[in-house]
Structure 1
Amino acid sequence: MSPARAPYFTPREVSRHCTPADLWVSYLGRVYDLTPLAAQYRGDILLKPIIEAAGKDISHWFNPKTRDIKTFIDPQTGCLRYYTPQGRFLHIAPSYPSSDWDTDFGRPWWRDPAYEIGILSAKTRTIRIINTLTSQEHTLEVCSEETIWEILRRYLPYNAHAASYTWKYCGVPLNMDLTLEDNDVKDEDEEFEELRIDSDLYTASIHLYFNDDLTEL
């Protein structure tokens, strides 16, 4: 089995964490759990734009080259300021000097790696997993970047002994350390789109064959 790496998340998974008590966002290809930040600043008006962004991708807040909040020149002061059309939020200085502006928060939240929990999938896929022993079928949304081992972990809630099976596609055993694409399970969404065929009409199927042991992960 390949060594553990940062997990991938689908946009749908991020969107489920959309409350102040469970607050995820994504930006610039990464996923962040800002729940501790929301708890620390609970009741602060500057938390409001972040709460409103819960479960969403906020890459449009950032300059992708600097990975910092977008900036602009304030026409009134001629100073460089952060661009926050959705409203000023935590760790953004006020437009004018203020006696209640506290700068001892340390690193701004968007620069703090402690909040980063994984990678946002650039492309998700839908696959069907068929257990040939029980004839049960489950359809999963997975990340195209995930290895078969990582997809197996997504499947564990449906079958705790998933590692006790040989995973095959079109009768050929899959290399568990490779992705679907690398195992020749092609993503045909673009081709279907060019042909104006609904991609939902076809879902690649992976068949599981029991190995007569009861491995649990």
Structure 2
Amino acid sequence: MSSIRPKYFTPAEVRVHNTIDDLWVSFLGRVFNLTPLCDRYKGDVLLKPIVQAAGQDISHWFNPKTKSDDGASIRTHIDPLTGCVIPYCPNGRFVHIPPPYPDSNWANDFGRPWWKDDEYLVGILSKKTRTIKIINTLTSQEQTLEVCSEEIMTEILQRYLKYNAHAASYTWKYDGKNLDMNKTLEQNGIEDDDEEFYKLSMNDDTFLRAIHLYFNDDLTEA
């Protein structure tokens, strides 16, 4: 089994990829970059439902009960005219879906359909995102970040690098204790208060858990 951790994405990160030249979707907990597919089928009318769904979650296109190592399966229904079981495409038939009736123009030599092809897979959709505050004690600068609850601290550090290129030169602490950078927020004792805030009708942005950064020697200099 590979030791490489999957890349986690927030729904907001998927949403920004919402054009035919940069098109991502998520479904059944995974994130796919369909930009190469759009390039391949540009001008094809069957691309329209996919383009309309750019940046969105399309899990409702698939049957979660048939998910397997072979990939997702498209939902099906019984055609009222023929009584045959056919793919259910409420937004219209799309790329790699066969026509409901025999068609001599239908070419099925494309190999694996895109929803079963890991060529397009870029990562995992976070089941739960969290918002945290990071405070640089050297500069007093504060930054609010949306992160994936599944991410370990080193991955959260990577998100923070665009605000502080030398973030690895700091000791990361919560409640006065050093954080284990190979563990998640929850594993470090930084609990998720979202549900409590919801029950109390409180604005959780006002009471964000704060991580404090303490400067060490700057070892990230070239």
Q: TM above 0.5, one fold?
A: yes
1:76 partnered with 2:78 = no
The match for 2:153 among 143, 148, 156 is 148
Listed one character per residue, the Cα deviations across residues 94-153 of structure 1 (whole Å, up to 9, x for unaligned) are 111111111111111101011110000011111111111111111110001100000000
Tell me the amino acid that sits aligned with residue 207 of structure 1.
H
Aligned residue in 1 for 2:47: 47
1:19 partnered with 2:13 = no
Listed one character per residue, the Cα deviations across residues 147-200 of structure 1 (whole Å, up to 9, x for unaligned) are 000000000111111111100001110000110011111101111111222222
Tell me the amino acid that sits aligned with residue 17 of structure 1.
H
d(CA) in 2 for partners of 1:165 and 1:4?
25
Classify 1:47/1:158 alpha carbon distance in 2 versus 1 (closer, same or farther; 3 Å). same
Query: Which structure 1 segments of 5+ residues have no match?
Result: none
Tell me the TM-score normalised to structure 2 length. 0.94
Aligned residue in 1 for 2:69: none
The match for 2:183 among 159, 178, 185 is 178
Q: What is the DSSP-based 3-state SS (H/G/I as helix, E as strand, rest coil) of the residue aligned with 2:46?
A: helix
Query: Which structure 2 segments of 5+ residues have no match?
Result: 67-71
Tell me the amino acid that sits aligned with residue 20 of structure 2.
P
d(CA) in 2 for partners of 1:156 and 1:178?
18
Q: Is the 8 A contact 1:160 1:216 kept in 2?
A: no
Q: Is the 8 A contact 1:162 1:216 kept in 2?
A: no
Identity %: 66
Q: Is the 8 A contact 1:129 1:206 kept in 2?
A: yes
d(CA) in 1 for partners of 2:221 and 2:157?
11
Tell me the amino acid that sits aligned with residue 56 of structure 1.
Q
Q: What is the DSSP-based 3-state SS (H/G/I as helix, E as strand, rest coil) of the residue aligned with 1:69?
A: coil
d(CA) in 1 for partners of 2:56 and 2:146?
18
Listed one character per residue, the Cα deviations across residues 16-58 of structure 1 (whole Å, up to 9, x for unaligned) are 0000000000000000000000000000000000000000000
Q: What is the DSSP-based 3-state SS (H/G/I as helix, E as strand, rest coil) of the residue aligned with 2:102?
A: coil
1:158 partnered with 2:163 = yes
Q: What is the DSSP-based 3-state SS (H/G/I as helix, E as strand, rest coil) of the residue aligned with 2:195?
A: helix
The match for 2:212 among 185, 192, 207 is 207
Matched pairs, number: 215
After TM superposition, which residue ranges in structure 1, 4 or more long, deviate above 2 angstroms? Answer: 213-217
Tell me the amino acid that sits aligned with residue 116 of structure 2.
R
RMSD, matched Cα: 1.3
1:86 partnered with 2:87 = no
Q: What is the DSSP-based 3-state SS (H/G/I as helix, E as strand, rest coil) of the residue aligned with 2:65?
A: coil
Tell me the amino acid that sits aligned with residue 29 of structure 2.
G
Classify 1:216/1:179 alpha carbon distance in 2 versus 1 (closer, same or farther; 3 Å). farther
Query: How many angstroms does 1:79 deviate by?
Result: 1.4
The match for 1:114 among 103, 108, 119 is 119
1:138 partnered with 2:143 = yes
Tell me the amino acid that sits aligned with residue 79 of structure 1.
C
Aligned residue in 1 for 2:7: 7
